[in-house]
Amino acid sequence: MMFRRLARDSSLVAAGTLAAGVAGLALRSVVAHRYGATVQTDALMAALMTADIFTIPLTWILTTTFVPTFMKVAGSDPAQGQVVARTVLALSLGVLLLLAIAAIALSGPVARLIVGNGNGQLVALTSALLPFLALCGVLVCLGGLATSLVQIDNNFWLPAVLLPVRSLAAVVAVVAFGSMFGTRAVVAGLVVGYGVQAAVLGIAAGRVVPIAGAVDFRHPAVREMFWRMLPMIGGTIAFQANHLISLRFASGLDEGSITQFNYAAAVAIMLAGVVGGSITQASFPSVSRSASAGDDGRELRANIALLLRTVMVVAAASAAALSATASDLASLLFGHGVFAGAPAAGTGALLRLFGIGLFVLPGPTVLSRIFYAMGNTVTPQLLVLPAVALHLAIVSALVPHYGASALVVSTTCAHAVLSASMLWVLAARHRVVERSAVVRALAASIAIGLAMFAAMYAVRRLMGGPVAAPVAWQVGRLIATGGAGAIVFVICTVGVEPLRARGLRVPYPRLRGARLAPDSAARG
């Protein structure tokens, strides 16, 4: 039952995340076709990445601290849970508006901080777009809190349906008004899309927690949530420095480098979100609830074991799929109009590097939420510091020689170091992860990924054909290549269950249910 619920909820979240990612890629494809890779698109991507650097972590912090706090209070007193929810919403709205005003007032200095002073036109264009994206940030954070309430009420389909709205609205704006307003049409469409999303989610959340009612700014749970947020804010700012460093170094490369890096990162981030974000988001209420179950951590360890094993297998499969299809995927998505040729080829090369590292990209997202569910918001932030230092060292040494490729490699290395350190602390200190089980799952996941890549690479070589083939041929080649990988994945996971039923030892991890190691229940 536990796995069925996780599979159902995570599938809905994954479907929404995938739909949003596809819509986002469609938006970038339309932008690439209409505007190419110029200083205007670099400014647009720099502004969007800057907004994401600040907005996504803020939303993450709010929702990650709010869910355990609300579940704990509402579990003993539903009325007090509603008071806490309304109080958090009121405080968040006030703080977000102040931050948005500050961002608008400081758009010029922020733009110079992000892209440097080397290109005055890039700075001016980026600065002009940032105020509109500050408004988007307010809507995103409020929508995130509303999403948490809706999902706590076991409604995962509505947020999933609404996720693509923002990008679709921007696509409509570019098609209808792009020739008149240029890249500003993209931002205007995003504002409308985020507004619709936040409004609908707010109405749905109002049925879970009525907006009209008492608030208590001195509630102990609100203060506890605030103190939990403080270390998360510090650690998140430090980790987001990775993205700021990447963006700053990319701004010093050839024109169009920011655009190519953003397009490749968008595909990788979409897949990482589907793999890690959706599964973790769906399981987070259960993990938070089991963290305070009072059963010596048995249920918590079972939930974590299932979560990690599932994420590792799916991440390995996704890494193999993206690595084998990077060139074709970049050509199909972005190789049109004025972006065709060298810009699309460069995006494909970066995308292949992201594919190799996709196995570790979801790690910090998944593992940090385990810490947060247990009420530990300090340790993950301390572990961020060496990862940031490694990232800065790599980009400083390699970007002058290898360009944007070094940005991808450094990003992967930083995520790998952070994931490994978090996993070690969970196993050695908190004793909620069985190290031997992780090693077995890791080996099996790598084996599955290599088998998938070999099958997909063989099909890709067999079909051959230039990258710049007709669209129909590119689609057919992608379907055939992906189908080969899907067959191998099914054989390696679902297909081994009948063999296990006959008593045969098969080294691949099961995706149905969780099993604790014999000594796990007795550990602290």
Q: Which residue has the tokens 């355990």?
A: 68
Given a cut of 70, whether residue 6 has pLDDT beyond it is: no
- pLDDT for residue 5: 64
pLDDT band of residue 196 (cuts 50, 70, 90) is very high
Q: By the 8 A CB rule, do 45 and 258 touch?
A: yes
Residue bearing the bigger pLDDT, 399 or 519:
399
Query: Is 234 exposed, middle or buried (CB count within 10 Å of its CB: 0-12, 13-18, 19+)?
Result: middle
**Spatial distance between the Cα atoms of 93 and 45, rounded to a whole number of angstroms:** 27
- pLDDT tens, position by position, 286-314: 777 777 666 666 778 888 888 888 888 88
Residue bearing the bigger pLDDT, 104 or 238:
104
- pLDDT for residue 455: 93
Given a cut of 70, whether residue 240 has pLDDT beyond it is: no
- pLDDT for residue 7: 60
What interhelical angle do 2-35 and 39-76 show, nearest 10?
160
- pLDDT for residue 169: 93
Q: By the 8 A CB rule, do 448 and 489 touch?
A: yes
**Spatial distance between the Cα atoms of 323 and 356, rounded to a whole number of angstroms:** 6
| DSSP state at residue 210 | -
Whether this model's pTM surpasses 0.85: no
Given a cut of 60, whether residue 434 has pLDDT beyond it is: yes
Q: By the 8 A CB rule, do 139 and 158 touch?
A: no
Q: Residue 360's Cα: distance from chain center in Å?
A: 12
- pLDDT tens, position by position, 321-348: 999 988 888 888 887 777 777 888 888 8
Chain-wide mean pLDDT for the chain? 80
Q: By the 8 A CB rule, do 387 and 242 touch?
A: yes
Residue bearing the bigger pLDDT, 469 or 154:
154
**Spatial distance between the Cα atoms of 295 and 334, rounded to a whole number of angstroms:** 52
pLDDT band of residue 34 (cuts 50, 70, 90) is confident
Q: Which residue has the tokens 């700012």?
A: 237
Residue bearing the bigger pLDDT, 502 or 141:
141
- Name the token pair of 58: 């803020």
pLDDT band of residue 506 (cuts 50, 70, 90) is very low
User: Of 381, 379, 373, which is closest to residue 67 (Cα–Cα)?
Assistant: 373
Greatest Cα-to-Cα distance within the chain, rounded to the nearest angstrom: 69
Per the document, the length of the chain is: 524
**Spatial distance between the Cα atoms of 55 and 64, rounded to a whole number of angstroms:** 14
| Percent of the chain with pLDDT strictly greater than 90 | 12
Q: By the 8 A CB rule, do 8 and 278 touch?
A: no
- pLDDT for residue 515: 39
User: Of 284, 256, 188, which is closest to residue 41 (Cα–Cα)?
Assistant: 256
Q: By the 8 A CB rule, do 100 and 134 touch?
A: yes
Given a cut of 50, whether residue 511 has pLDDT beyond it is: no
Residue bearing the bigger pLDDT, 96 or 237:
96
Q: What is the mean pLDDT of residues 269-275?
A: 80
- pLDDT for residue 518: 33
- pLDDT tens, position by position, 354-388: 998 899 988 888 888 888 788 787 888 788 888 88
Query: Is 118 exposed, middle or buried (CB count within 10 Å of its CB: 0-12, 13-18, 19+)?
Result: exposed
